Amino acid sequence: MISAGDFRNGITIELDSNVFQIIEFQHVKPGKGAAFVRTKLKNIKSGGVVEKTFRPTEKCPQARIDRKEMQYLYSDGDMFNFMDVETYDQISLTKDEIGDSLKFVKENEMVKMLSHNGSVFAIEPPLFVELEVTETEPGFKGDTATGASKPATVETGATVSVPLFVEIGDKIKIDTRTSEYLSRV
């Protein structure tokens, strides 16, 4: 159990039989009346954001989120297959359960599975990936004064905005959290 006075960003709590992550919190002491804690909570299964206020002495059960390294094996139609590299157990998840979290992940790469009470609710790809550009328009010489960019398709099929000097066949480094181009490799 965690009291509302001890809330911090990133903590996960169980509330109304759902699991929420605290995105933002603020301790408020009005001139009249009792203090309270104003929070923004993100439902980790549905992704919805809710605002809720708590008394500082209110207690909530803290949710235990398990993170496990697993290897992304392959996709088979709408099913995505993963393997635990320690026990060799395999699990399959549907396209709806995965969302777009694998858009920068190649086959046989490691990802983190996030689960609560045994049910997987999210996949965390590596923070940075190196992928090859498979399709992009050619850049024009001298067109760099504005820091212009162009769309490029990488080997996983995702599209990233890259500088004009990047060409087909270049390996680039991408931040998976923001989908931004970082550098050429």
Supply the range of the domain harboring residue 73: 66-124
Give the CATH number, domain containing residue 26: 2.30.30.30
Task: Give the end of a domain, one of 41, 60, 79.
Answer: 60
- My answer on whether 75 and 49 are in the same domain is no
Task: Give the end of a domain, one of 77, 102, 124.
Answer: 124
Per-residue pLDDT of the chain (185 residues; tens, 9 = 90+): 888 888 988 888 988 888 888 989 999 898 888 899 999 998 887 778 999 999 988 999 988 888 889 999 988 888 888 998 889 888 888 887 787 888 888 888 899 988 888 778 788 888 898 999 999 888 766 655 667 788 899 988 889 998 888 888 889 999 888 888 888 88
Task: Give the end of a domain, one of 104, 124, 144.
Answer: 124
18 φ, ψ (degrees, to nearest 5): -125, 165
- My answer on whether 17 and 37 are in the same domain is yes
Give the CATH number, domain containing residue 148: 2.40.50.140
User: For the whole prediction, is pTM greater than 0.85?
Assistant: no
| Structure tokens, 95 | 């396209």
How many domains are there within the chain?
3
- My answer on whether 7 and 44 are in the same domain is yes
- My answer on whether 117 and 134 are in the same domain is no
- My answer on whether 56 and 72 are in the same domain is no
- My answer on whether 9 and 52 are in the same domain is yes
The per-residue pLDDT for 39 is: 93
Cβ atoms of 150 and 170 within 8 Å: the answer is no
- My answer on whether 155 and 176 are in the same domain is yes
The per-residue pLDDT for 116 is: 83
The per-residue pLDDT for 26 is: 92
114 φ, ψ (degrees, to nearest 5): -105, 125
**For 94-119, b where at least 16 C-beta lie within 10 A, e where not — what string?**
eeeebeeebbbbeeeeebebbebeee
